[in-house]
Amino acid sequence: MSPEAAHHPPVQGLAHQFDSLEQQTEATTLGMWVFLVTEVLFFGGLFMVYTVYRTWYPDAFAAASHTLDITLGTINTAVLITSSLTMALAVHSAQLGQRKLIMIFLLATMALGGVFLGIKGVEYYSKFVEHHVPGPSFHFEEPQFAAHAQIFFSLYFLMTGLHALHMIIGFGIMLFMLGWTWKGGITADYYGPIEIAGLYWHFVDIVWIFLFPLLYLLGGRY
């Protein structure tokens, strides 16, 4: 056994490269924040493309935006914000070491996320039926805006699609946290993993908070 193992007895959940659970939690939290910064830059590229084309073609973008279902979009926004609430409650429960509550709130977050994705699926389907999916079958009702509306819809599918992909990854993270909590690895003394899962989920929520007005609320309403 190496000399330094004699200095600290094995702590449950402490990885070998760290000296204390506190250091481990600080490091993993910083790691998640750095990762979220990279995500901001990743989505940022798409937001930049959006900004350029919306500045150049405001009328086409407004016309295209009007064809999105604002009711479903608003419901989805409320659903996602609520899921952030349940996630925050999961973190709070973790801080109090309440294993059952953590799992309930994690499941609630996942359920709300599932609702969001379901509604998104409905919206995508209706776009498909209306021939607003970019490609050879694209057709837009106001022909003078057609070319630029196609750019809008390309951005719509790319941005919401990338967002949905991040949500699905978030599901994976939630499942992982559920398993970890079930096995008793999360206690009031060590709940860092739930916290950083929460950070990720809140980020996904914030991206949607930006996407919603930029995609759904253009050009005033009727």
Give yes or no for residue 49 binding another protein (CB under 8 A).
yes
| Three-state SS at 27 | helix
Q: Cβ distance 69 to 124 under 8 Å?
A: no
Of the ranges 42-50, 104-112, 113-121, 185-193, which one interacts with another protein (CB under 8 A)?
42-50
Find the binding residues for another protein in span 153-182 (CB under 8 A): 154, 158
Kindly tell me which of 67 and 154 has the beta carbon lying closer to another protein: 154
Rounded CA-CA distance 114/204 in Å is 14
Kindly tell me which of 31 and 118 has the beta carbon lying closer to another protein: 31
Rounded CA-CA distance 88/96 in Å is 13
Q: Tokens representing 120?
A: 């998104």
Give yes or no for residue 151 binding another protein (CB under 8 A).
yes
Give yes or no for residue 55 binding another protein (CB under 8 A).
no
Q: How far is the CB of 154 from another protein (least distance, A)?
A: 4
State how far the alpha carbon of 220 is from the alpha carbons of 58, 62, 154, in Å: 12, 8, 21
Q: Tokens representing 190?
A: 């060590």
Find the binding residues for another protein in span 57-116 (CB under 8 A): 57
Query: Phi and psi (nearest 5°) for 101?
Result: -65, -40
Binding site for another protein (CB under 8 A): 2-4, 15-19, 23, 26-28, 30-31, 34-35, 37-39, 41-46, 48-49, 52-53, 57, 134-135, 144-145, 147-148, 150-151, 154, 158
